[in-house]
Amino acid sequence: MPLHRSIAIPDSAVSDNSDLRSKTEKLFQLSRIAAIFQISNIIIYHDPLLKPARANRERRIITRILKYIECPQYLRKRLFPLSRDTAAVGILSPLAIPHHMKTRDLKRNEIREGVIFLNQNRVVADVGGKELLEVVGWKKSLKDKTIRVTVQIIKANGRFKAQVLASPPKKEYWGYSVNAYQQTLSKVLANRSEYKIATSRTCEPFSTLNQKIDMKKDMIIVFGGPYSGIPKLLKAEGKKITDIFDTCVNILEKYGTRSLRLEEAMMITFSRLEDI
């Protein structure tokens, strides 16, 4: 089984961006970095230093935009109704990951993302082709739901049909999932079994720890917010880094700015992990 890498960011991650356009641009940068380094899951945890009403709004924006960016273009209209949160996504370039198909021409045995729904009492799939496909082998109830699935294109009786797969292909990077929580960091991580890495300038330099990081395990790398690093966020919960994490690293010991932005910290972290 391939190893999974997850990241965790706070719901304050883009709170220092004053308008929706700049928030959207920053989230696209984060999604590109996540795709480049094949991140499986983006987790959003609650920053306790952010007021609840603002945290809820920021969390909703982050979640919706990250999901929108990861979604294939041909499925977006079905999965994302018009919303103020996604009003600025028209400025973005394609994410260009394997399941973002560019062609409407289907091929036998091709694997695509699709959405399935009821159409005149038939279960059909939109997979970005020129017409809806009949879904074979689907036995669950749909009712009025529209569900995103991974399908394989098959041919039966001279027509293309869609067969739903239990999981995406493992040989290609197939995008990231997004999970958002109202819980604070320690509670979100409490029941997770991955190797947990915190990033903070208060921790030991990466150069002294890189041989101690277990690269043979699934891992989750956690980043702090624009106003508060992980130690301060945990202090607000009455916790310390050693209570939660397997390792804490200062990923760049010297830099010429007052701080690192989240997108910069992510890029540097994963670039250095690639060298281990």
Cβ(148)–Cβ(113) under 8 Å? yes
What's residue 2's pLDDT? 57
What's residue 140's pLDDT? 82
- Is position 135 within any domain? yes
Mean pLDDT split into 10-residue runs, the chain, 276 residues: 84 96 97 96 96 96 98 94 94 93 89 93 93 89 86 93 92 95 96 93 85 84 95 94 93 87 94 84
What's residue 36's pLDDT? 96
pTM over 0.85: yes
- Is position 140 within any domain? yes
Cα angle at 254 between 248 and 260, to 5 degrees? 70
Residue 39 phi/psi, 5° resolution? Answer: -75, 130
Q: What is the largest CA-CA distance in the chain?
A: 65
Q: Which range of residues forms the domain containing residue 122?
A: 111-164
Whether residue 218 is found in the same domain as residue 145: no
Q: What is the CA radius of gyration of the chain?
A: 21
What's residue 210's pLDDT? 67
Distances (CA, A) of 128 to 92, 121, 131, 162: 20, 21, 8, 12
Whether residue 76 is found in the same domain as residue 122: no
Q: Which residues, in sequence order, are bridge partners of residue 161? A: 134, 154
Q: Is 220 exposed, middle or buried (0-12, 13-18, 19+ CB in 10 A)?
A: buried
What's residue 1's pLDDT? 42
Whether residue 183 is found in the same domain as residue 241: yes
Q: Where are the beta strands (DSSP E) in 88-131?
A: 111-119, 122-126
- Is position 67 within any domain? yes
| DSSP tag of 108 | T
CATH at residue 140? 2.40.50
3-state secondary structure of 232: helix
- Is position 100 within any domain? no
The total domain count for the chain is 2
Cβ(31)–Cβ(93) under 8 Å? no
- Is position 104 within any domain? no
What's residue 211's pLDDT? 67
Closest CA to 275 of 208, 204, 192, 210: 210
Whether residue 13 is found in the same domain as residue 141: no
Whether residue 189 is found in the same domain as residue 154: no
State how far the Cα of 237 lies from the Cα of 189, in Å rounded to an integer: 13
State how far the Cα of 232 lies from the Cα of 241, in Å rounded to an integer: 10
Spell out the residues 6+ positions from residue 121 whose beta carbon is closer than 8 angstroms to its own.
Answer: none
Q: Is 274 exposed, middle or buried (0-12, 13-18, 19+ CB in 10 A)?
A: exposed
3-state secondary structure of 82: coil
What's residue 209's pLDDT? 76
What's residue 258's pLDDT? 84
State how far the Cα of 73 lies from the Cα of 54, in Å rounded to an integer: 29
3-state secondary structure of 259: coil
